[in-house]
Structure 1
Amino acid sequence: MGFDAFFIRHAESAGNAGLVTQDPGSIPLTELGLQQAEEFGRAFPFKPSVIAVSPFLRAQQTAAPLLRRFPRVEIVTLPIQEFTYLAPAQWRGTTNEDRRHAVEAFWSRGHSDHRDGEGAESFADFMERVEFTLRWLQKRQAQQAVLVCHEFFIRAVLWRCFCPSLEQAIGSMPAFRAWQQSAKIPNVSTTRVTLGSDGRVGVTLPFGLT
């Protein structure tokens, strides 16, 4: 059972712009991001079979113009939100730069089952969400599915596709981090992932639709 899925990274958020944020789930789009979302929704080239959206605000705002354009398409919320590996309560009212040392410490530790505190998840937790999503797509044999989500999640989807098993994907956390930092996935770009009936995975790296 195969699938054909288009993973969309959200438009520019306050966090992307280096602004102060309060909670990972409530980070909004910037004015530029709202414009990007409108352009994305207007220019999207086909009618999706289903639109899955992260529960995080910036993804929901990005998806909104697309949902207005295709009001009869099935809409679902999936756990395709960003990887929250720092305890949110400890970092309210901070910027990406403020959190940099804590980010580096988390990844330097390299323990896939480490949780930073309440509201944070481990790398293993995160990859299990990725696995759930891929199995969801496969089970429903989704074709032309659109998933509006986040850069880390898209990276993790690709990583899982490159690895022969979930266990190997989880166990190679340091290698994932090095690869994840090697190139950016632009805002409102699309990464296409297909699974053929023969089990072969195809990936079209990020491309713009606007």
Structure 2
Amino acid sequence: MKIGENPETCHRQSFLPETSCFCRTPHAGRANREHDRNAVLPYFDVLARSPWRKRGQCRWATFDPGDIPLSARGEAQARDLANRLTGVPDLIVHSPFLRTYQTAVPRIARYPDVPVVVWPIQEFTYLSSKHCAETTGAQRRSMVEDYWRRCDPAFVDGAGAESFSAFLSRVRLLHARLQDAPDAFIVVFAHGQLMQALRLITAMPDADDETIMAILPAYDRNNPIGNTR
């Protein structure tokens, strides 16, 4: 998508409710990219996970994860994040999930003339809502472990879920769109696992979907995205 195009709409479902933000500044990381293919997320200067808890991360059951709002603490930290980010962006991007929009609101309010778009960068929904509706994280744990142990990028768990290959297609689309505007300062409000996948496809552009899927869970655990603090 070019800067200034109309927003898109996408399905709003996930069972991994982290919200994250990063900034892609003009030509960021090009020197590192030339000498270190394993650099952490080349092209992007700021990479931070929002540390607040959402309802989906707590002990009670969730319904539609796309509609999970930020807590009062999360809203306060979204304002703090907006204060930490400097410079006037050319474009603000957020996912279709409510909490990413709420995280972006303080930044949007500060620069009302900056275009705002919705891209299909929602978190990866790999468990079917048929199996997971009204469940807690603890109740889903065995299903999560079984899914990643299967390591089948074409597998779809059921209604409301997507395959890992479909997820990576969205990640690659994000990567391509950012490359398509190399001179733009873009602020993206997305989700933790999507950003980890973006790291991997950037560092390993020739890897197939099965390889990325096998690596992602351990990579996510061993290379956490730092909090905004």
- The answer for the alignment partner of 1:88 in structure 2 is 129
- Is the contact made by 2:47 and 2:225 (CA closer than 8 Å) also made in structure 1? no
What TM-score does the superposition give when structure 1 sets the normalisation length?
0.81
Identity over aligned pairs, percent: 34
Structure in which a larger fraction of residues adopt strand: 1
Q: Which amino acid aligns with 2:209?
A: I
- Is the contact made by 2:93 and 2:116 (CA closer than 8 Å) also made in structure 1? yes
- Partner of 2:189: helix, strand, or coil? strand
Q: Which amino acid aligns with 1:178?
A: A
Change over 3 Å in CA distance of 1:158–1:45 after alignment to 2 = same
- Partner of 1:185: helix, strand, or coil? coil
- Is the contact made by 2:48 and 2:226 (CA closer than 8 Å) also made in structure 1? no
- The answer for the alignment partner of 2:214 in structure 1 is 174
Deviation larger for 118-127 or 33-42: 33-42
2:190 maps to 1:149:
yes
Change over 3 Å in CA distance of 1:75–1:43 after alignment to 2 = same
Shift in Å, 1:25: 1.1
**Runs (5+) with no aligned partner, structure 2:** 1-25, 29-42
Superposed CA RMSD in Å reads 2.1
Spell out the pairing of 1:1-210 with structure 2 (5 A cutoff): 4-5=43-44, 6=46, 9-10=49-50, 12=52, 13-165=54-206, 168-172=207-211, 173-187=213-227, 189=228, 208=229
Once the two structures are superposed, what CA deviation does each residue of 1:33-89 show, in whole Å capped at 9, x if it has no partner? 111112112332221111110001111111111111111111110111101100123
| Count of residues in correspondence between the two structures | 187
Mapped partners of 2:96, 2:51: distance in 1: 15
Mapped partners of 2:51, 2:217: distance in 1: 23
Shift in Å, 1:20: 2.6
The runs of at least 4 aligned residues of structure 1 exceeding 4 Å deviation read 1-8
- Is the contact made by 1:88 and 1:120 (CA closer than 8 Å) also made in structure 2? yes
What TM-score does the superposition give when structure 2 sets the normalisation length?
0.74
